[in-house]
Structure 1
Amino acid sequence: ATMRSSGHVYYEVVCVILVFVTLGRWLEATGRLQATAALDELEQLIPDQVRCLSGGGEWTMRSRDSVLIGQTVRVLSGERIPVDGRVLRGRGVVDEQFFTGESLPVEKQPDDRVLGGSLNLEGDLVLQVLAPATAGALGRLVDAVRSARLRKGRFQMLADRWSQWFFPVIAVVSLATFVIHGLRTDWEFGLLTALSVVLIACPCALALATPLAIWAALSTAARRGVLFRSGETLERLAELRAIRWDKTGTLTTGSPSVCGLVCEDAAEQAVVEQRAAELVSGSTHVFSAAIRQYLDGPRERWHGGMVTTVPGRGLRIESAEFGPVSLGSRDFMTDSGLTAGPVLSAVIARSESTKACVFIGWEGRIRGVFLLEETLRPEAAPAIAACRNLGLDLAVLTGDREERALVWEQQLHLPILAELLPEQKLAAIRFAHEQFRQVAMVGDGLNDAPALAAADIGIAMGCGADVTRDSADVCLLPNDLRLVPWSVQWSRRSVATIRQNLAWSFGYNSLGVIVAAMGWLHPAIAAVLMIVSSLVVLGNSLRLRTDGRGPATGGEPSDAAAVPQSCLEAAA
């Protein structure tokens, strides 16, 4: 038209299209940044500058990335600890609530370990660096979330498949529109109509529908102390129909205490304590730790030999002097051919239904029994009620005896499968899977790692600094059971948002293509409508930046379960 000096020119249309396309790209980039803002706030908890000891014995400020393992750093009162380290000198009070969920600060003294990202509330600490800033507790958490965002879930792969077909289909529709309108009207109108089809069909919203929602959901969950291994885990958790709980260390505090030791022969108590101390010296089981604490004190050590762990049963030493010395459950004593005398039989009959009992014996007789008490977590009841409100089938898997399990059943109002060995727990989870398809196992991720791995979704509590537990699909940093129903509700809300985004973007684009192909849409208007589609997806996804508190949570996780806002402000 310019060369002919006749007809319409469309320079302003080109300018308008370019302006709106650029605006759309800018809005997309802004939305992506906002979706990951929560994760960026976590990174700000690590200070950029570190006070290091130089070769000349002076303290100098260095970049945190230049700090090496083994160097000495200093953290003053009110400063945030930049790296994982071990206290060399000084005493302090440190706030570690983001990693442990404990709202009370922890006293630190020489040889204690501190975590990068925690806050030194009081005291002057000199630390030996154990890990670079990026490999510390907080750095591993951030890296794990970033890795999770890169793993594609079912909805992301579905959107990718749609996109693969979308481009060639739109190309065919656009070419057909150009030819049909060119033949029926004129080629100029056909070109504008084809351009409108391409603009309105721009798959920006479709491309953003899943990843933007996943990024926002994972980042917000990490700020709450919940780490999802991938977007696929988030999607599978939304389909959860049943939960199986481990008892010891999960529904209970995990710190049982020995309330007494009863021996068949009181004269043998010193020998019983000596041999029990040797058996539990290297065990990580919570009962072993409780017995070790109870027996803490100076005593002559008994070197009986190598300690063997019998999974789900107990511990044993093959002593050359006394034969096998066994410590563990009542069934373990029976399997070992050990029987109780009249004194211990009376104690067992009186105490076994209310207290946990750990027996020790050798040479055919049970010589003593440790009586332990467990405490139910205060948040267990609201967490279980919240899970019921979400329509989940609940049960507890434990190795406790049937009599003691009945006591816990009355307290928890949950069915309890008792006297289960590790392989029987796996069978119980497989059976639940056959009934409900999607089953989660909640435990501490250590002693019950096989059960967590066997479940469709393994949820490990109290990960703290250990966010890399391979057996867990979901890691809860604090020991707060209410984060379990929160995670389920959050995953359902996130998946609902993804579905809304996909339905909107696919439906909107399809309808827009039809309208444009009919010749009812100007290219400039098509560019504007393309931005509107992306804005809807952006706005809907960014709603996941909020925690989404709701009545279904049945009681919110404690404030310690989230990074305190004051910490973020201080870091900024």
Structure 2
Amino acid sequence: MAITTSDGIDIVASSPQRRVQFDISGMTCGACAARIERKLNKTPDLAASVNFVTRVATVTAPDAVEDAVICDIVAKAGYTAVVREQGAAASRDQDQVEAQMMFRRLVVSLLLFLPLADLSVVLAAVPSLRFPGWQVVVIGLAGPVVTWCAWPFHRVALRNLRTRSATMESLVSLGVICATVWSIVTIVSGQAESAPTQPGVWAAITASDSIYLEIAAGVTVFVLAGKYFEARARSRAGSALRSLAALTSKDATVILADGSEMPLPSDELSTGQKFVVRPGERIATDGEVVEGRASVDVSIMTGESKPHVVAPGSAVIGGTLSLDGRVVVRAAAVGAGTQLGAMLQLVDAAQSRKAQAQRLADRIASIFVPVVIGLAGTTLALWLIIAGTGEIDQAIGAALSVLIIACPCALGLATPMALMVASGRGAQLGIFVKGPTALERSRSIDTVMFDKTGTLTEGRPEVVDIAAVSGCNRDEVAALAAAVEAASEHPVGAAIVAAAPVGDRRVTDFVAHVGYGVSGKVGDRHVQVGRASWICTHGIPTDLQHLVLAAQQSGHSIVFVSVDDVICGAITIADEIKASAAPAVAELSRSRIRTVLISGDNVHAARRVADAVGIDEVIAEVSPQQKAVAVQQQRSQGRSVAMVGDGVNDAPALAAADLGVAIGRGADAALDAADIIAVRQDLRSVPAALTLAVATHRTIRVNLWWAFCYNIAALPLAAVGLLNPLIAGGAMAASSLFVVANSMRLRSSSDTWDELVATARV
């Protein structure tokens, strides 16, 4: 079914949906973003969110709606939209380009404003100093400022006029034009009144006369300065995303079928292709080493300072750096499917989505500008009615002040600027937040529940003992268990495989019983490897009880092996506790946050880990579903719960918690269920993420408080004539700079975990 919008655009309704991002150019304030969003959302079957800071429109549309149709809708609103390419946002710094453009115009306007301010005031104050052609000189100094330097504002105002809308630039442009036109009329007609006897810039600022050329130029200078520093700050805030994208190798040396090598752009790699990585080169994409040996610096991705030695069979991460040796890698994932690609998408999505406070600010900004224009007109009319035409200069000055000081730029920047800086700072520390909603939930967390294996422990278990019951061979037990575990991706399975003798690892009918163990057929025998509660349904054999007792005393884990439903052996597993676990728990305790260890392992192993890291409460021997139930029970008691895990069996609990935190690379199910992903194995990222969220919300509250109070206080002062237009322009620019500077404080925290947490907590 075809639907025709109010703009005459035909859209075909279709149930399948897709999500597309567009880079938007031409936006200058939060009102612009609100207008584009409103235009897109008024179109049937389209759902859009537009972020002013990142200049990104995220649109959910039916498959039948072409990208060109969406771009046309944006164009009819007066802006330009192009489909965002993968990685384009990270490699292109539009804010830096804008800052450079603003800086050039700022320098020219400032150099002309200084003599203009002095000259215009002196000539008005001391008429005897006027020389033939002084009008041409004054207008000549002001002309380039109010035209070329202020052109970015005039251009946007003209576009807004065509689309019957108004933004901050409409207020600035209208103010500059009115001041210029009135000044020229005053000069040409010879009606300029006397001005202050004290010449100079300060006199121009505090008490200008009816010649408002220095006002028009001064407002342009102040607004350009604010825009310049704002664009530069946005560029710095986005540097984290660009630095991540810079890790991507631009080229890869691909091995062809005949064995020869050929350079190929890394974005043209396909899964299964082999490529060469030489010393000093970055690995082009995620893959598996098939030849060679090298040390790889993975610190930028995992935070581990010690290089990893990779050899045939080792997995490698795209973007990491090969320090020595030559290796051949088979590509396992490309583009967005790589870990680096996923990280880029997380930061990009987090910066593009909107918090609840931002949506409120955008709605206010969208109606604020027309209200201010109406208020300026009302101010002018009331002045003329009350004071009469003899006070026309004061009336115009008051109206100009209202126009200039009420620009809602600070309001539009208050929330997105803080979110952008916070998400960028988190990315630098390996903390990736899926959106502002996760940040909003993070600030209220009072309980953190930790999984044990792979979260509090290293996740690299080792087999410390293998025992077999009477009549079974120990090596055969290990070989059968390894054959089944070879098909599993669980760390315990990898440890069993590594400890078993090399043999036939072919398995059929393999099933992973999440939270319990694995099973499969090795030859004609049915083999199960897993927890005692799953395998030892009739009790633990006497031959294995000594192994169980030793494991309980040492705090190790134990898995049992059954063949054709008969228990034949057990394997003891040890896993080292992460060095960062105890400091992370201690920091959470200092923040008065409860910590709980929840694990499917036996209670003795769980208690040993909990005692070592400082956790008092332990929930052990629970299934994945029971983990989720335990989380729900904590929430039913009025607690706000964060769940920290890394495996498939943690996914239900991550989804059930108020906030899910996935540690390390994790399993896909855990990453999908989590709200925050900490790619580094350092558990101090958990308190760091929570404190960063608290600091971000505190920053947003301060920004919004300032933006609202500034306008509420400034508008009445401007309307009654207590603010000179030039002071109004400076105050407007200063309010935006305050919001930007306050947000950038989130970026200036130290790079060390301890100092980061301390800085965020202050």
Show the counterpart of 1:541.
Answer: 743
Out of 27-36 and 356-365, give the one that drifted further: 356-365
| Residue number in structure 1 paired with 2:414 | 209
Amino acid at match of 2:375: V
TM-superposed CA distance for 1:12, in Å, is 2.9
* Counterpart for residue 509 of structure 2: 306
Counterpart-to-counterpart distance in 2, 1:388 and 1:349: 33
Q: 1:123-202 to 2 correspondence within 5 Å?
A: 123-127=325-329, 136-185=338-387, 186=389, 187-202=392-407
Contact (CA 8 Å) 1:280, 1:289: kept in 2 or not? yes
Corresponding letter in the other structure for 2:445: L
* C-alpha spacing 1:519/1:315, structure 2 compared with 1 (3 Å): same
Q: Which residue of 2 aligns with 1:16?
A: 218
C-alpha spacing 1:307/1:115, structure 2 compared with 1 (3 Å): closer
Question: How do 1:25-424 residues align onto structure 2 when only pairs under 5 Å count?
Answer: 25-48=227-250, 73-87=275-289, 90-110=292-312, 112-127=314-329, 136-185=338-387, 186=389, 187-265=392-470, 267-298=472-503, 306-317=509-520, 325-335=527-537, 338-353=538-553, 354-362=555-563, 365-411=566-612, 412-424=614-626
Distance 1:121 1:465, change over 3 A: farther
Tell me whether 130-139 or 231-240 shows the greater mean CA deviation.
130-139
2:635–2:641: 8 Å Cα contact kept in structure 1?
yes
Range 76-85 or range 492-501, more displaced: 76-85
- Label 1:482 to 1:18 Cα distance change in 2 as closer, same or farther (>3 A): same
Superposition deviation, residue 388 in structure 1? 0.7
> Is 1:6 aligned with 2:6?
no
Aligned partner letter, 2:320: S
Does the C-alpha gap of structure 1 residues 286 and 62 become closer, same or farther in structure 2, counting only changes over 3 Å? closer
d(CA) in 2 for partners of 1:468, 1:350: 32
- Once residues 129 and 349 of structure 1 are traced to their aligned partners in structure 2, the CA distance between those partners, rounded to angstroms, is 46
State the 1:279 CA deviation: 3.0
Cα offset, 1:101, TM superposition: 3.0
Letter aligned with residue 512 of structure 2:
T
Q: Which residue of 2 aligns with 1:564?
A: none
Which residue identity is paired with 2:242?
D
Please state whether the residue corresponding to 2:242 is helix, strand or coil.
helix
SS at 2:587's partner residue? helix
Q: Partner amino acid for 2:711?
A: N
Amino acid at match of 2:441: R
- Given that 1:465 and 1:477 are in contact with CA atoms closer than 8 Å, whether structure 2 keeps it comes out as no
1:530 equivalenced with 2:715 (yes/no) = no
Deviation at 1:56, TM superposition (A): 11
User: How high is the TM-score relative to the length of structure 2?
Assistant: 0.66
Within 2, Cα distance between the matches of 1:528 and 1:321? Answer: 84
Q: Distance in 2 between matches of 1:63 and 1:207?
A: 40
Measure, in 1, the Cα distance between the counterparts of 2:349 and 2:379.
Answer: 43
User: Which amino acid in structure 2 is aligned with residue 475 of structure 1?
Assistant: I
SS in 2 for 1:343: helix
CA distance in 2, matches of 1:53, 1:406: 51
Q: What is the CA-CA distance between 1:95 and the residue it aligns to?
A: 1.0
1:9-52 Cα offsets, whole Å, 9 max, x none, are: 42332222223223322222112111112222222333545556
| Aligned partner of residue 649 in structure 2, secondary structure | coil
CA separation in 1, counterparts of 2:241 and 2:307? 24
The 1:456/1:271 distance shift into structure 2, 3 A limit, reads same
CA pair 126-145 structure 1, distance change in 2 beyond 3 A: same
RMSD, matched Cα: 3.3
Note the C-alpha offset of 1:392.
Answer: 0.9
Structure with greater Cα Rg: 2
1:216-239 C-alpha deviation (Å, 9 max, x unpaired): 111111111111111222222122
* Distance in 2 separating the partners of 1:467 and 1:538: 38
Q: Identity, % of aligned pairs?
A: 33
State the 1:422 CA deviation: 1.4
Distance 1:554 1:381 in 2: 15
Alpha-carbon shift at residue 166 of structure 1 (Å): 3.0
Q: Helix, strand or coil for the counterpart of 1:210?
A: helix
Instruction: Find the residue that maps to 1:470 and give its secondary structure.
Output: helix
Structure 1 unaligned residues grouped into runs of 5+: 557-572
Conserved 8 A contact 1:159-1:206: yes
Report deviation, 1:72: 6.1
Using the alignment, how far apart are the partners of 2:592 and 2:400 within structure 1?
50
> What displacement does 1:149 show?
0.4
The verdict on how the C-alpha distance between 1:347 and 1:459 changes in structure 2, with shifts beyond 3 A counting, is same
Change (3 A) 1:386 1:282: same
Q: Could you say if the C-alpha distance between residues 74 and 401 of structure 1 is closer, same or farther in structure 2, counting changes exceeding 3 Å?
A: closer
Q: 1:318: how far off? A: 7.5
Does structure 2 retain, via aligned residues, the 8 Å contact 1:339–1:364? no
Equivalents in 1 of 2:312, 2:519: separation in Å? 35
Paired with 1:29 and 1:37, the residues of 2 have a C-alpha distance of 12
Letter in 2 for 1:384: V
Instruction: Sort the Cα spacing of 1:52 and 1:468 in 2 relative to 1 into closer, same or farther, 3 A.
Output: farther
Equivalence for 2:157: none
Residue 132 of structure 2 is matched in structure 1 by none
Relative to structure 2, which stretch is displaced further, 450-459 or 17-26? 17-26
Give the whole-Å Cα distance in 1 for the aligned partners of 2:679 and 2:232: 30
Query: 2:636 maps to which residue?
Result: 434
Asked whether the equivalents of residues 684 and 753 of structure 2 are also in contact (C-alpha less than 8 Å), the reply is no
Structure 2 gaps, min length 5 = 1-184, 193-209
Q: Which structure has more RCO (C-alpha within 8 Å, separation ≥ 6)?
A: 1
Q: What letter matches 1:284 in structure 2?
A: E
SS state of the match for residue 376, structure 1? coil
Amino acid in structure 1 at the alignment position of 2:491: V
Q: State the shift of 1:457 in Å.
A: 1.2
Aligned-pair distance for 1:194? 2.0
Deviation at 1:160, TM superposition (A): 1.7
CA distance in 2, matches of 1:270, 1:551: 48
Once the two structures are superposed, residues 179-205 of structure 1 have per-residue CA deviations (whole angstroms, 9 ceiling, x without a partner) of: 221211244433321221121110111
Q: Secondary structure at the match of 1:396?
A: strand
CA drift of 1:518 comes to: 1.8
Q: Please state how far the C-alpha of 1:420 moved relative to its aligned partner.
A: 1.2
Q: Secondary structure at the match of 1:545?
A: coil
- Aligned-residue offset at 1:270: 4.4
Q: Does the Cα contact within 8 Å between 1:383 and 1:555 map onto a contact in 2?
A: no
Corresponding residue number in structure 1 for 2:689: 487
Distance 1:465 1:368 in 2: 29
Tell me, in whole angstroms, the C-alpha distance in 1 between the residues paired with 2:291 and 2:609.
46
Shift of 1:415: 0.4
Aligned residues of 2:585 and 2:615 also touching (Cα < 8 A): no
Native 8 Å contact 2:479 2:501 kept in 1 = no
Q: Which residue of 1 aligns with 2:137?
A: none
Q: CA deviation at 1:150?
A: 0.3
What SS does the corresponding residue of 1:77 show, helix, strand or coil?
coil
Write the letter of the residue equivalent to 2:402: V
Query: Quick one: structure 1 residues 481 and 469, their matched pair in 2 at CA, closer, same or farther if it must change by over 3 Å?
Result: same
* CA deviation map 1:533-570 (0-9, x unaligned): 111111111122223468686799xxxxxxxxxxxxxx
2:483 and 2:497 in contact (8 A); partners too: no
1:264-298 residue CA offsets vs partner (Å, 9 max, x unmatched): 21544344334323332322233222222221423
Q: Tell me, what secondary structure is at the counterpart of 2:502?
A: coil
